């Protein structure tokens, strides 16, 4: 929206209906304070669809055959996709120093490592994980797969393309950028050896039927995704993550996030530089 563009008015009553629809679809929750943000971000979409009221838009979302696709479009316009390479580096250091060596020991006989970047946005998190795994040199002849998923199709297109501008590198040391990227006229492109380790797919994390298609994984990164969810959706997602993790698998959340009041199923592990969650190992018999 630009200054001077028309605004279609969103009443509090209609806002709350829209908010509940978004919440049950994908977990994101908007408090009443977000009314004007939602109004301004969606006005252009209504104009594009030829609708002149939020009543009509709500009706379209609920009853039009294209309503589900439109829900995705709407969520795309309302979500925050902010991300960058090597975000929250102290946690990544713990991943390299503690988690990867432990997984290397534990999975030696299987020689297969699966990591899931849940809510990967434009892919920087998934690629960072791949770069860190590669740089340990521990998994060179292993089958390593990093799966990045997001509810937004637009960010996934960017992730698959793997080309980034300067803001994606705000926390990347120059030698790492030189090692893992090739300069192109469009920006810095992730090298093929790293791209080959990463796969991206469209997934709503609250879609219970489709989430099982991820299979079982050894590590889940879900950082800065649930901060936008309400408590019920967070608890639900945590229980889905529990089911997807192998015994002893790790769950890494953003630095402002925790499982306090959400789940007691995980154990808290104190690593050299961070606290992370782990699905307990199955206790062995006597």
Ligand X SMILES: C[S@@+](CC[C@H](N)C(=O)[O-])C[C@H]1O[C@@H](n2cnc3c(N)ncnc32)[C@H](O)[C@@H]1O
Q: Out of 41, 106, 145, 161, which one is annotated catalytic?
A: 41
Q: Is 150 a catalytic residue?
A: yes
Output the smallest distance, CB 172 to ligand X, in A.
Answer: 13
Give the C-alpha separation, 197 to 211, whole Å.
Answer: 20
Q: Does the CA dihedral 147-151-156-159 come out positive or negative? A: negative
For residue 253, what are its two tokens? 């959340």
Name, in order, each residue with C-beta under 8 angstroms of 65's C-beta and a sequence gap of 6 or more: none
Is residue 157 close enough to count as binding ligand X by CB under 6 A?
Answer: no
Window 177-196: residues binding ligand X (CB under 6 A): none
Give the C-alpha separation, 83 to 246, whole Å.
Answer: 27
Judged by CB under 6 A, the residue of 94, 151, 197, 198 near ligand X is 151
- Stretch binding ligand X (CB under 6 A), from 42-50, 76-84, 95-103, 259-267: 76-84
Give the C-alpha separation, 155 to 123, whole Å.
Answer: 8
Nearer to ligand X, 116 or 188 (CB): 116
CB distance 25 to 204 below 8 Å: yes
Q: Out of 150, 218, 223, 279, which one is annotated catalytic?
A: 150
Nearer to ligand X, 8 or 200 (CB): 200
Judged by CB under 6 A, the residue of 73, 150, 218, 274 near ligand X is 150
Please name which of 266, 264, 261, 270 lies closest in space to residue 281, comparing C-alpha atoms. 266
Is residue 223 close enough to count as binding ligand X by CB under 6 A?
Answer: yes
Give the C-alpha separation, 115 to 135, whole Å.
Answer: 16
Is residue 79 close enough to count as binding ligand X by CB under 6 A?
Answer: yes
Give the C-alpha separation, 214 to 155, whole Å.
Answer: 19
Is residue 152 close enough to count as binding ligand X by CB under 6 A?
Answer: yes
Judged by CB under 6 A, the residue of 116, 224, 234, 277 near ligand X is 224
Output the smallest distance, CB 139 to ligand X, in A.
Answer: 22
- Stretch binding ligand X (CB under 6 A), from 32-40, 46-54, 77-85, 164-172: 77-85
CB distance 205 to 149 below 8 Å: yes
Output the smallest distance, CB 79 to ligand X, in A.
Answer: 4
- Stretch binding ligand X (CB under 6 A), from 1-9, 22-30, 60-68, 177-185: 22-30
Q: Is 223 a catalytic residue?
A: no
Output the smallest distance, CB 168 to ligand X, in A.
Answer: 10
Please name which of 152, 9, 3 lies closest in space to residue 78, comparing C-alpha atoms. 152
DSSP-H helix ranges across 79-206:
89-94, 100-106, 124-136, 153-161, 174-180, 192-195
- Stretch binding ligand X (CB under 6 A), from 134-142, 180-188, 222-230, 269-277: 222-230
Give the C-alpha separation, 149 to 119, whole Å.
Answer: 6
Q: Is 235 helix (H, G, I), strand (E, B) or coil?
A: helix
Contact letters for ligand X, residues 81-120 (x by CB under 6 A): xxx---x-------------------------------xx
Binding region for ligand X (CB under 6 A) = 26-28, 79-83, 87, 119-121, 125, 150-152, 155, 203-206, 223-225, 254
Kindly list the catalytic residues: 41, 150
């Amino acid at each position: 929206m630009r200054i001077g563009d028309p605004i279609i008015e969103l009443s509090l009553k209609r806002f709350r209906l829209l908010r509940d629809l978004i919440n049950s679809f994908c977990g994101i929750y908007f408090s009443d304070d977000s009314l004007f943000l939602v109004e301004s971000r969606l006005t252009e979409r209504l104009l594009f669809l030829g609708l002149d009221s939020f009543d009509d838009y709500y009706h379209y979302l609920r009853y039009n055959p294209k309503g589900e696709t439109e829900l995705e479009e709407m969520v795309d316009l309302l979500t925050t996709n902010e991300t960058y390479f090597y975000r929250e580096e102290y946690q990544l250091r713990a991943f390299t120093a503690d988690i990867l060596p432990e997984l290397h020991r534990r999975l030696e006989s299987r020689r297969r490592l699966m990591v899931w970047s849940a809510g990967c946005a434009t892919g920087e998190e998934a690629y960072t994980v791949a770069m860190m795994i590669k740089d340990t040199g521990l998994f060179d002849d292993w089958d390593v797969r990093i799966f990045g998923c997001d509810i937004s199709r637009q960010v996934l297109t960017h992730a698959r393309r793997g080309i980034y501008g300067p803001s994606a590198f705000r926390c990347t040391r120059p030698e790492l950028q030189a090692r893992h990227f090739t300069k192109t006229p469009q920006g810095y492109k992730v090298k093929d050896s790293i791209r080959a380790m990463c796969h991206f797919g469209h997934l709503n994390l609250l879609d219970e039927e489709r989430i099982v298609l991820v299979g079982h994984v050894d590590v889940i990164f879900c950082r800065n995704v649930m901060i936008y969810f309400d408590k019920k959706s967070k608890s639900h997602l945590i229980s889905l993550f529990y089911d997807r993790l192998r015994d002893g698998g790790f769950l890494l959340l953003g630095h402002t996030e925790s499982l306090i009041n959400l789940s007691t199923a995980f154990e808290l592990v104190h690593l050299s530089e961070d606290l992370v969650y782990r699905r307990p190992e199955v206790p062995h018999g006597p």
